[in-house]
Amino acid sequence: MNSKFSNFSKDETLHFSFFESPLDLIGIAGSSKGLIRLKLGLKNPDSFVEYIETQFSGSWVEKASAFKDIKSQLRLYFKSKNTKFDFKTDPRVGTVFQKKVWAGLRKIPFGQTRSYAWLAKSIGNPKACRAVGNANGKNPISILTPCHRVIRESGALGGYTGGISYKQFLLDLEQNSNGTV
């Protein structure tokens, strides 16, 4: 995401908020159509605001109430009491291929992992492992779209945009969860 998304109107009002988690500060951004970005491991709020303002045209307003449900779901997730997320994404974010990969990620069961090869096959492109890995790395809605559940076929963790320690934390949290909702 190196330039502004042209699908967003400069006159559109977009919202953002923050959630304090065991993985540092999480930034949440969205439009009236759904979530645009959930970013882990922020060092400070200003870095997230600067990021969203440079990546998405529109007028940005901080509004905690816009993400009350997501925050509640995240709070329960980090207490090992939520195994599913209920949210809408803004359909203007991502390419057709990326959206297909991200939808595939949401099908990986809580507490389980899958390989990049499995994900490529599951979306009907068995030879697209590298492209799947690239789309996985560009996932704009970490945790909710569980890119952390994708590992190498060898069982090695592979990479994670938020950092490998975050990936390990999330996998451990899910695998040690009692799975209640």
Which residue in 147, 150, 171, 173 is the catalytic one? 147
For 111, residues 6+ apart whose C-beta sits below 8 A from its C-beta are 83, 174, 175, 177, 179
> In whole angstroms, how far apart are CA 180 and each of 74, 81, 168?
14, 5, 21
> In whole angstroms, how far apart are CA 71 and each of 36, 39, 49, 77, 167?
15, 13, 18, 10, 20
Catalytic, 147? Answer yes
What the block records as the tokens of 21 is: 């988690």
Active site residues: 147
